[in-house]
Chains A and B, each alone.
Chain A
Amino acid sequence: MLEINGLCKSFGGLQASQSVTLTVSQGGITSLIGPNGAGKTTLFALITGFHTPDSGTVRFLGEDITGLPPEAIAKRGMIRTFQTVQPFAGQTVRENIAVGAHLKIRGRTEALAKAETVAGLVGLGDRLDMDAGSLTVSGRKRLEVARALATDPKMILFDEVLAGLNPSEIRDVIPVINAIRDAGVTILLIEHVMQAVMSLSDYTWVLNQGAIIAEGPPREVVSNPGVIEAYLGKGMAERIAKREAASA
């Protein structure tokens, strides 16, 4: 569904993305993990048109979308959310979600009705008339999900939608993401919460210093020595293996 080929981007001397090649197949949840500063959010920005890649291509549903502006990519059915939540403060939750609904729906009444339905799906049904700026962090995260969902997307890119939530809130949001997948939306998520990565995703890509270093089902990937070293430092994989051998 999404094919990224040799994507490169540098900011001055910093190579934020070094020839990244990655594919996401239709349906299911794919995750993208990596230590802080690995270039995950930059990759999202490159895919969704907020940054223009220096070289490489992005193909979505077989069509080359490299370098298109964000709104054109959104219209093709690929929507991203933001790591730092970006509510339209001063507008109500209902109005916020309706902006997403308006991508496909012209009429105001219909868009507002759609917003109400979507709010129910993500658990914001009781806060429809509240100012979006006064929502708690978990409420704002749900709002990000709701706005994206209201556009009727084919694919959603979630950027750390669980970051900043406490464990019980995470337990609440995970079923929401599963429900979106079950409705037929393909999901690519950046996540630091490993509990979520393990329980949600079918396939994982690992990014480090702007390059893909591993891929595979999440359980295999987390035991990959290269991945352990990327997170914990050089030599750690060996020491962990030794300790496990000693305790066995």
Chain B
Amino acid sequence: MKSTNKLLVLIVVFGLIALAPLLITQESLLNIVIMTLYAALLGQAWNILGGYGGQVSFGHAAYFGTGAYTVAVLQIQFGINPWIGLAVGGFAASAVGAFIGFCTFRYGLRGSYFALVTLAFAEVLRILSNSVDFTGAGVGLLIPLERSAANFQFLTKAGFFWVIWAMTFAAFLTVWKIGNSRFGAQLMAVRDNEDAARALGVDAFRVKMGAIMLSGFFAGLAGVFYAQYFLYLDPYIAYGAAISVESLLVPIIGGMGTLFGPLLGAAALHGLSELSRAVIGDAPGISLVLYGVLLVIMVLFVPRGLAGLSSHLRVGKPATPKTEEGKGHA
């Protein structure tokens, strides 16, 4: 697909999603749409670093949790408006990304070493937030209920919908721009072959730093949204492994390194967990079992994700770009 066409599709898709609050009157149904958009935001954040940059992170909870705690702590301890907390939370998460990126990329950590270090950083933050007072330690933080739009606590789900819709749309537009820019070209070159990229003058360290900071920023926004939507945080919610797993599962299922992958992945995951709830009931942990099964199936049979599936389905066209077979030139 050409990049201008992709942008057009993106605008149309988000335009259609924007009809949801007008068409859906049931709050519980709108909640599913909101949670899907939220998962797509988190997944797209991971996708910037993992999908486009090839740096697989097991610790995106570090950024998510930082965003969530920032908005909550600023509100509770300092009385700062959560809308300001939204911006501060994003940038604080981005700063955490810069720190983790500097510590890992500076020393050339790649692949599973990078993944393990990110996991460790998220765990360190979880333990820290569990032991200091201003994050409420193990008890967690309860954001006081004060329903008003000025306070980022809407009376209806539609208000939350518009916030998450705008943030997710912004993340997707950013990723579209990455796919169509020098930064993105260099990022993907580093992903596919770091030495070859450096030989062509790509500053791999700087490019990866850019990716981890952008990725951290959007994951932080998702964290801020989560805190305002549920008004409760504890170390396991904010910095626990569940968020790290969800943020990587969404783009892996949807298609890593593709613009629409995280949206497809989020829809598939939430569709599946809603379906399981309807069929099996709300047995604790059942959705995690399903996630595991789904991940195995996807990795085995559709390694390129749902976005890669579309090229398989196009009848009469080869799934991979045309090869040089039979074209042998002298």
From 117 to 152 in chain A, residues with beta carbon under 8 angstroms from any chain B beta carbon are: 123, 127, 129-131, 134-136, 138-139, 147-148, 151
- Min CB distance B330 to A, Å, is 5
Report Cα–Cα, A102/B330, bound state, in Å.
Answer: 31
Residues of A within 8 A of B330 (CB): 168-169, 172
Q: A108-B182, A134-B324, A139-B324 are in contact. Are A88 and B189 (CB under 8 A)?
A: yes
| Chain A, range 75-112, C-beta contacts under 8 Å to B | 75, 79-82, 86-92, 95, 98-100, 102-103, 105-108, 111
The reply to whether the CB of B180 lies closer than 8 angstroms to some CB of chain A is: yes
Cross-chain contact A71 with B201 (CB below 8 angstroms): yes
CB distance from B324 to the nearest CB of A (A): 5
Residue A38 interfacial (CB < 8 Å)? no
**Is there contact, CB below 8 Å, between A130 and B200?**
no
List chain A residues, Cβ under 8 A from B28: none
Known: A88-B189, A134-B324, A169-B330. A80 touches B199 (CB 8 A): yes
Set of chain B residues within 8 Å of A86, measured between Cβ atoms: 193, 195-196
Contact A99 B324 (CB under 8 A): no
Q: Is A164 an interface residue (CB 8 A)?
A: no
Interface residues on chain A, size class: 35 or more
Whether A48 sits at the interface, judged by CB under 8 Å, is yes
Complex alpha-carbon distance, A105 and B189, angstroms: 16
Which single member of B196, B323, B329 contacts A88 (CB below 8 Å)? Answer: B196
**B residues near A69, Cβ cutoff 8 Å:** 198
User: Chain A: which residue is nearest B193 at the CB level?
Assistant: A86
Q: Is the CB of B323 within 8 A of A134?
A: yes
List A contacts of B198 (CB < 8 A). 50, 69-71, 74
For the complex, count residues of B whose C-beta is within 8 A of A.
27
- Whole-angstrom CA separation of A71 from B324 in the bound complex: 32
* Cβ contacts B14-30/A at 8 Å (1 or 0 each): 00000000000000000
Question: What residues of chain A lie closer than 8 Å to B321, measured between beta carbons?
Answer: 92, 129-131, 134
Which of A87, A88, A138 has the most chain B CB atoms inside 10 A of its CB?
A88
Tell me whether A74 and B182 are in contact (CB under 8 A).
no
Within 8 A of A (CB), among B175-193: 180-182, 185-186, 188-189, 192-193
| Chain B residue contacts of A172, Cβ below 8 A | 330
Within residues 280 to 323 of chain B, which ones have a CB less than 8 A from any CB in chain A? 320-323
Whether B181 and A99, one on each chain, are in contact in the complex, defined by CB atoms closer than 8 angstroms, is no
B323 close to A151 (CB less than 8 A): no
- Shortest CB-to-CB span from B301 to chain A, Å, is 19
Do residues A102 and B186 form an inter-chain contact, with CB atoms below 8 A?
Answer: yes
Which residues of chain A are within 8 angstroms of B202 by Cβ–Cβ distance? Answer: 71, 99, 102-103
Contact A131 B323 (CB under 8 A): yes
A113 to chain B, nearest CB (A): 14
Cα A90 to Cα B192 with chains together (Å): 8
Q: Cβ of A147 and Cβ of B323 under 8 Å apart?
A: no
Contact in complex: A136, B201 (CB < 8 Å): no
Separation in Å of the A76 CB from the closest CB of chain B? 9
A74 touches B193 (CB 8 A): no
**Most-contacted residue by chain B among A81, A108, A168 (CB, 10 A):** A108
- The answer to whether residues A71 and B195 also contact, given A91-B188, A99-B189, A102-B182 and a CB cut-off of 8 A, is no
Given A108-B185, A168-B330, A172-B330, answer yes or no on A74-B199 (Cβ-Cβ < 8 Å): yes
Please tell me if B125 contacts chain A, counting CB pairs below 8 Å.
no
Interface membership of B211, Cβ < 8 A: no
Report if B197 contacts A (CB, 8 A): yes
Does B133 have its Cβ within 8 Å of any Cβ on chain A?
no
Chain A: CB-nearest residue to B321: A131
Q: Which residues of the other chain, B, contact A138 by a CB distance below 8 angstroms?
A: 329
CB-contact partner of A48 in B185, B196, B199, under 8 A: B199
Q: Does B328 contact A (CB under 8 A)?
A: yes
| Interchain Cβ contacts under 8 Å between A and B, 29 examples | A50-B198, A70-B195, A71-B201, A71-B204, A74-B198, A79-B199, A82-B196, A86-B193, A87-B193, A88-B188, A88-B189, A88-B193, A89-B192, A92-B321, A99-B200, A99-B202, A102-B182, A103-B202, A108-B180, A129-B321, A129-B322, A130-B322, A130-B323, A131-B323, A134-B323, A134-B324, A147-B200, A168-B330, A172-B330
18 new A-B contacts, CB < 8 A, other than A99-B185, A134-B324, are: A48-B199, A70-B199, A79-B199, A79-B200, A82-B196, A82-B199, A88-B188, A88-B189, A100-B201, A106-B182, A111-B182, A123-B329, A130-B321, A130-B324, A134-B320, A134-B322, A134-B323, A139-B324
| 7 nearest A-B pairs in the assembled complex, by CB-CB distance | A74-B201, A88-B192, A86-B196, A103-B201, A134-B323, A131-B321, A70-B198
